[in-house]
Structure 1
Amino acid sequence: MHVNTRKGRTAFRLFSILLLAAVICFLTLPLYTALVIRDTKTNQIIWSRRLVEDEAFGIRWTHSIHRSAIEEHYHIVKDQIILSEMTFHDYGIGMENELAPGEELVIENGHFLIRNMHRAFPALHLFIGQIRANHTLLFSGTEIPLGSIEKPGEAITIQSEKRSILSELGGY
């Protein structure tokens, strides 16, 4: 009795191709949102962490003129970075001098606080301070000096990105 193995091989090959296509789709499908820092010149990722829903982050830095700390607090809404609050010690040159509708300036614990902000940015672009700015990322209860992940003076871009398993493994 002769068994037709040609149909079996064709079915196996088709199944294998479909399975491989499904795995590739799964690996490349954007599954989660991440906060990503890229070197602006090369566009290479230099730091990336997953964001849980409604997770906030901040940036603290020292103002170059009045040399006091400034903290900016952000959250992500639909891939936009929203500046929601800013805290600073001295009100002077280089600080916010106008409030947008709905924003409120209060003094709390000896600091100025602008709250109810809703300023949207597709990304944050900054140069890591070389002398006194000491830019620090405040993320998930940790303080990460930006000078520890990229050389001071370099330009970085901070943004929200949809990431896949493959992009996380490959770092692109």
Structure 2
Amino acid sequence: MVIFFPLQKAFVFTETRAEQPKQHYILLTKDNKFQIRYTHSIHHSDVVEFYQYVEDDRIQMLRMEYEDLAIGMPGYAEENQTLTQRDGKYFLSFDNHKIIDNFTIYIGDLDLELVWIYKGVEYDLKKDLQRGKSYLFEIKRLSLYEQWKGVRLK
């Protein structure tokens, strides 16, 4: 007899520096692109980062869109990058950008926007995750038990 435990692919945010880390997740469909939009803490303008997940549940940054140069924002393109300006915005595209397994996202304790966008739905990470904490972000396959034990972001 074979027992099958279904696994569902998800964006998973796992608390770092915690004895019993909680996992927060967003279930995925076939759409492999997502975005992070945040308000820059110095410029107070929006920055949008565009990503996709690729084979083996890895992550690739595609491009950035922002309004202000200087502190914390690239003012020129490096190798395998293209920087263009249009309608008062800068667009930095990455050609063959490095593919990574995960990254850490810090939920700052400032009243500035931090939104995860997937399939047109916006998830307010400042509301859904704990301010002042860091979370390891990765794409994982979760069992029903792991989903039940974790916190589904809505």
Tell me the TM-score normalised to structure 1 length: 0.74
Unmatched 5+ residue regions in structure 1? Answer: 1-17
Q: Which residue in 2 is equivalent to 1:92?
A: 70
1:72 aligned counterpart, secondary structure: strand
Cα deviation, 1:69-90, whole Å, max 9, x if unaligned, reads 1111111112221111100000
Unmatched 5+ residue regions in structure 2? Answer: none
1:141 matched to 2:117? The reply is no
Q: Residue 83 of structure 2: which of 79, 93, 105 is its match?
A: 105
Q: Which residue in 2 is equivalent to 1:36?
A: 12
Instruction: In structure 2, give the amino acid aligned to 1:82.
Output: Q
Greater helix fraction, Structure 1 or Structure 2:
1
Q: Which residue in 2 is equivalent to 1:15?
A: none
How many residues end up aligned between the 2 structures? 147
8 Å CA contact 2:76–2:83 kept in 1: the answer is no
8 Å CA contact 1:82–1:121 kept in 2: the answer is yes
Q: Which residue in 2 is equivalent to 1:6?
A: none
1:66 matched to 2:43? The reply is yes
Instruction: In structure 2, give the amino acid aligned to 1:62.
Output: T
Percent of aligned positions that are identical: 25
Instruction: In structure 2, give the amino acid aligned to 1:58.
Output: Q
Greater strand fraction, Structure 1 or Structure 2:
2
8 Å CA contact 1:64–1:132 kept in 2: the answer is no
8 Å CA contact 2:61–2:94 kept in 1: the answer is no
What RMSD in Å do the two structures reach over aligned CA positions?
2.2
Tell me the TM-score normalised to structure 2 length: 0.82
